[in-house]
Structure formats: structure tokens, C-alpha cells
């Protein structure tokens, strides 16, 4: 080393030669940091107060706030987030994954789909059953990972359940003629059911369940659900005022402003999805255009599936049933199902498994030791000819409500539907005079129901039957 070089400042050798904290102070700081990571202190000030109290007990000088806060900032925030806020808080504060190890989006159409569900931000007006409370439908959407294109959706009434998810998969097969190789879902109860796992094993599908609170893993479906709901905030019965709490008067809440029937809301959601499919993304390409480009470049991926009896059986939900009666059929908790094939099979074998159809509440799929067969309930004739939109109601109420409630609701459905069809098919100019009689007859059957509200819905693109139902007010679903 030269004489001049020895005079130069060496910042690496400047500063403290050893730690300025004593061994006791170091242990006290480490204890305070561990208590902070474990969530035993709700704030930094609380943690410092605990540190001062501990130092007084052990007889040492507490460190400054700056020193303790610096040590606390250097600790892992994800550990404290997990212990104080659970997995959702952990996912919010966890470190991002190295881009080299992130899984990229699929490059082929139909290879992977994202499925998610949420409640519609609009409340449905009560139907013909006076005991029916105002409720919000739930929407399931299946989004292709490669294109961001919403392949199909399913709008169901009631809580999230496996029936709606199974109906979505059936709609997917009807739309594309195949099933994907990978299905990515969240940790919903219906997504972790044994039925979905068995369905994926049967059709060789990889089921990916992302962690709790990690919406970024399923952002393709989450984004679409948010865009659909944003279109419904201007409709009657929107739940947007409900989220504002007491700052909004009660007469503006969704339970007071609900006017739309389930069928009308179904049409609005369908129109919103069709419109959003044409909206270009950040790259200037709409989902429909991206889909057409990938079809030309890579074709379609997935497993080709036909909607046959085998697929209908595996896409039905297992249910409990009592012993099979060779004369009366099989009985579930609420309804008895029978058919000639089932009664003949009952004399030759035993019941192995019973599954209820996810779309038609009057159909039951039965696996016998001698083969498979179908059975129908006594209400099968009553629902014959009813639109699919009404079967969605019955699929929920048939298993959630008592049988008498379902029968009264079904009788009102069938009666009103037949009268509407008579009015629409007749050429008599005086046929329109029959419309008030239908509503009067339905009102006489529910005298105890208040009639303070009426429904008047005018939406473009609705069929004649849906329009007639809405004009019927509370006498229609």
C-alpha cells in the first residue's frame, strides 16, 4: 500500500467494529420481533410497549423505536399475515413468484378452462309462491384460458351447489362437443366435492384447485364476473345500494326495488355476455377474434365427448335413497321415482347408486347390478313442455322445499303456462281478454299475499313467453 493510498477513506472499514447492543438487548429485540410475527401485538406501538416492559423485567435498557421498527420491517410480512389474517391475508402479502417458474397460459383452444361463480348483483322479485323470499341468482362461467373467451355460462337459483356446476359442464359439451384437459377452480365447496373429483377421473381431466384468497390464479374468470355484474347495476333490484350500508335509505335497497323476474334477468345476463365478447382487449383483439385466430393456427384441444346416457349419468349428482320397492319404485327424501325398466330390474338385482339429474328434477338415474336405468317422479307429466328456465327453479325447490310447496308452485306454473299458450296460439281477437282472468285465478289461490307491487319489464330480445310472464306480474315466476 502506498503512502497516499493509506490516507484515502475506506468506507467499508468505517463505523462500528462490533454490535452496539448488549447480548441481553439483542435477545429482547429478537423476542419482540417473534411476538410481532406471531401476531401477539396488534400495532408497532403495542409491540414497542411490550419490549419496554420486558426490558424492565430483565434489567436492561430498551432500544429506540427506530431500531425496533427497522428489525420488525426486516421480518417476513407473510408469516404475520398468515397468523393474523389467515390464507386470504397471506395471499395479499406473499412474495411474487419468480417469472421463470410461472405457468404460462395455454396455447391451444379448449385445453384449459377457468370456472368461477358469484352471486348476481341484482335481486329477483318473488314469484307465485308467497313463502319465496327475495333472493339473488348465482352465475357460473367457464372461460377458455388461451383466448379469454367465455365459452358458456349457467345461471342458477339458490346457493352454490354441485347441480349448477354439473349443468355448466353439460352446457360446455353441448357448445364445444368436448371436455377440456384441465379445469381450474377455486376452493368452493362444490369444487372440492367427491362428485367433481370422480367426474374428472372418469374423463381424464386434471383438476387444479388454487389457494384460498388467490384470485389472481383464476383472474380470467374473476374478470368476466366483475364485468358482467357491472352491467347489472342500472337494473331494478341492484344490490349496489346495499353495499353502501346506512348511507342509503332503505326504500332504495334491492329488497324494495326488485322488479325483474328470473327469466328476464337471465335474458339480460345473456345479452351482456354476448356484448362483452366483442369488446377488444388491451392488445386490440376481441375474444371472438382471438378464438377464430387460434382455431386456424392450432385447432381445438380437449377430449371429444358425446351426450349419451353414460355422460348424463356421470354428470348427475349422487343422492341418498331408501330401499328399492319392486312395486312402487325408489324413494328419496321427498319424492318417489319409478319406471317400467326400474321395476323389472328391481326383481333381478340390487341398487348400487342413485343419482339425480342436474337439469331435470323429475329424472333419477339408477345404477343397478344388472345395468343402468332411468326413473321419473309423478310430476314428470306436469313439467312436460315447460321451458328450461322454469325447470331451473324446480330443480332447486324440489330438493330444498317440502313436497307440498313444490306441488302448489308447480300447479301454478302449469296453469299459467297453458293459459298463456292458449292466448298466443289462438286467432280470436278477443283472446286478449282472457289474460286478466288468468292472473285473477292465480291471485285467488294466494289471498294472503300482498299485492302492493307490480312488474312491468320491457327488454329487447325476449321471447313472447318470457314477455307474457313478465306482464303477468307476481303471477309468473
End of a domain among 59, 93, 127? 93
Q: 231 and 257 share a domain?
A: yes
Residue 71 has pLDDT above 80, yes or no: yes
Tally the domains of the chain: 4
What digits encode the pLDDT tens for the residues 284-309?
888 888 888 888 888 888 889 999 99
Q: What is the pLDDT of residue 477?
A: 34
Residue 103 has pLDDT above 80, yes or no: no
The answer to the question of residue 205 being in a domain is yes
Q: Which residues of 263-289 are buried (b: 16+ CB within 10 A; e: fewer)?
A: bbbbbbbeebbeebbeeeeeeeebbeb
Q: What is the DSSP string of 418-465?
A: HHHHHHHH---GGGGGHHHHHHHHHHHHTTTS----------TT--HH
The answer to the question of residue 263 being in a domain is yes
Per-residue CA distances from 195 to 1, 8, 157, 183 (Å): 78, 75, 20, 14
Q: Which of 4-18, 77-91, 144-158, 341-355 has the lowest mean pLDDT?
A: 4-18
The answer to the question of residue 5 being in a domain is no
- Own/partner pairs, 399-404, CB within 8 angstroms, 24+ separation: 399/334, 399/356, 399/361, 400/158, 402/334, 403/334, 403/335
Q: What is the pLDDT of residue 458?
A: 32
Residues 345, 346, 352, 355, CA torsion sign = positive
Mean pLDDT of the chain: 78
Alpha-helical segments (H) within 357-400: 380-383, 388-400
End of a domain among 342, 364, 383? 383
Q: 241 and 212 share a domain?
A: yes
Residue 250 has pLDDT above 70, yes or no: yes
Residue 321 has pLDDT above 70, yes or no: yes
Reported confidence tier of residue 220, pLDDT bands at 50, 70, 90: confident
Reported confidence tier of residue 205, pLDDT bands at 50, 70, 90: very high
Please choose, from the candidates 75, 69, 82, the residue with its C-alpha nearest in 3D space to the C-alpha of residue 39.
Answer: 82
Q: 43 and 21 share a domain?
A: yes
CB 465 within 8 A of CB 420: yes
Q: 104 and 88 share a domain?
A: no
Q: 267 and 331 share a domain?
A: no
DSSP 118: E
Q: 216 and 354 share a domain?
A: no
354-371 mean pLDDT: 88
The answer to the question of residue 277 being in a domain is yes
- What the block records as the C-alpha cell of 371 is 345395468
CB 455 within 8 A of CB 259: yes
Q: 245 and 165 share a domain?
A: yes
More confident residue, 239 or 440: 239
Q: What is the pLDDT of residue 391?
A: 74
Reported confidence tier of residue 396, pLDDT bands at 50, 70, 90: low
Q: 141 and 261 share a domain?
A: yes
Q: 283 and 226 share a domain?
A: yes
CB 297 within 8 A of CB 142: no
Q: What is the pLDDT of residue 62?
A: 92
172-195 mean pLDDT: 90
Q: 87 and 156 share a domain?
A: no
Reported confidence tier of residue 243, pLDDT bands at 50, 70, 90: confident
268-286 mean pLDDT: 85
Q: 300 and 331 share a domain?
A: no
Q: 197 and 264 share a domain?
A: yes
CB 248 within 8 A of CB 260: no
H/E run at residue 275: helix 262-276
The Cα–Cα gap between 37 and 25 comes to 18
The Cα–Cα gap between 68 and 26 comes to 10
The answer to the question of residue 274 being in a domain is yes
What digits encode the pLDDT tens for the residues 376-385?
988 788 777 7
The answer to the question of residue 255 being in a domain is yes
Please compute Rg for the chain using Cα positions: 31
The answer to the question of residue 399 being in a domain is no
More confident residue, 242 or 11: 242
The answer to the question of residue 403 being in a domain is no
End of a domain among 332, 367, 383? 383
Domain enclosing residue 60, as ranges: 13-93
403-127-466-473 Cα dihedral, nearest 10 degrees: 140
Q: What is the pLDDT of residue 48?
A: 94
Amino acid at each position: 500500500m502506498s503512502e497516499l493510498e493509506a490516507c484515502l477513506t475506506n468506507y467499508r472499514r468505517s463505523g462500528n467494529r462490533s454490535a452496539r447492543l448488549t447480548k441481553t438487548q439483542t435477545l429482547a429485540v429478537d423476542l419482540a420481533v417473534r411476538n410481532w410475527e406471531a401476531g401477539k401485538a396488534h400495532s408497532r406501538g403495542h409491540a414497542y410497549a411490550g419490549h419496554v416492559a420486558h426490558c424492565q423485567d430483565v434489567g436492561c435498557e430498551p432500544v429506540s423505536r427506530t431500531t425496533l421498527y427497522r428489525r420488525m420491517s426486516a421480518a417476513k410480512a407473510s408469516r404475520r399475515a398468515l397468523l393474523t389474517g389467515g390464507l386470504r391475508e397471506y395471499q395479499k402479502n406473499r412474495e411474487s413468484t419468480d417469472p421463470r417458474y410461472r405457468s404460462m397460459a395455454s396455447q391451444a383452444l379448449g385445453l384449459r378452462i377457468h370456472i368461477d361463480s358469484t352471486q348476481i348483483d341484482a335481486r329477483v322479485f318473488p314469484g307465485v309462491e308467497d313463502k319465496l323470499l327475495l333472493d339473488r341468482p348465482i352465475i357460473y362461467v367457464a372461460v377458455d384460458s388461451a383466448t379469454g373467451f367465455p365459452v358458456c355460462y349457467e345461471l342458477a337459483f339458490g346457493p352454490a351447489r354441485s347441480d349448477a356446476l354439473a349443468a355448466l359442464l353439460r352446457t360446455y359439451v353441448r357448445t364445444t362437443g368436448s371436455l377440456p384437459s384441465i379445469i381450474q377452480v377455486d376452493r368452493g365447496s362444490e369444487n372440492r366435492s367427491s362428485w367433481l373429483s370422480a367426474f374428472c377421473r372418469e374423463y381424464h381431466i386434471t383438476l387444479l384447485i388454487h389457494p384460498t384468497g388467490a384470485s389472481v390464479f383464476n383472474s380470467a374468470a374473476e374478470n368476466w364476473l366483475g364485468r358482467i355484474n357491472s352491467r347489472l347495476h342500472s337494473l331494478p333490484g341492484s344490490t349496489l345500494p346495499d353495499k353502501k350500508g346506512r348511507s342509503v335509505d332503505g326504500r332504495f335497497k334491492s329488497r324494495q326495488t326488485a322488479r325483474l323476474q328470473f327469466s328476464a334477468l337471465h335474458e339480460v345476463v345473456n345479452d351482456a355476455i354476448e356484448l362483452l365478447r366483442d369488446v377488444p382487449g388491451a392488445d386490440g383483439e376481441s375474444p371472438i377474434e382471438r378464438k377464430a385466430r387460434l382455431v386456424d393456427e392450432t385447432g381445438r384441444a380437449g377430449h371429444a365427448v358425446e351426450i349419451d346416457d353414460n355422460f348424463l349419468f356421470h354428470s348427475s349428482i349422487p343422492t341418498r335413497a331408501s330401499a328399492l320397492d319392486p312395486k312402487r319404485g325408489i324413494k328419496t327424501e321427498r319424492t318417489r321415482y319409478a319406471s317400467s325398466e326400474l321395476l323389472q330390474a328391481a326383481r333381478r338385482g340390487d341398487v348400487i347408486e342413485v343419482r339425480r339429474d342436474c337439469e331435470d328434477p323429475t329424472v333419477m338415474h339408477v345404477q343397478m347390478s344388472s345395468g343402468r336405468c332411468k326413473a321419473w317422479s309423478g310430476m314428470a307429466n306436469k313439467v312436460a313442455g315447460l321451458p328450461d328456465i322454469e325447470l331451473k327453479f324446480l330443480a332447486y325447490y324440489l330438493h330444498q322445499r317440502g313436497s307440498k310447496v313444490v306441488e302448489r308452485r308447480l300447479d301454478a306454473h302449469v296453469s299459467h303456462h297453458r293459459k298463456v299458450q292458449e292466448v298466443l296460439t289462438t286467432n280470436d281477437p278477443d283472446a286478449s281478454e282472457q289474460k286478466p282472468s288468468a292472473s285473477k285465478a292465480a291471485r285467488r289461490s294466494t289471498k294472503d299475499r300482498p299485492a302492493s307491487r307490480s312488474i312491468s319489464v320491457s327488454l329487447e330480445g325476449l321471447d313472447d313467453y318470457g314477455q307474457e310472464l313478465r306482464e303477468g306480474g307476481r303471477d309468473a315466476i
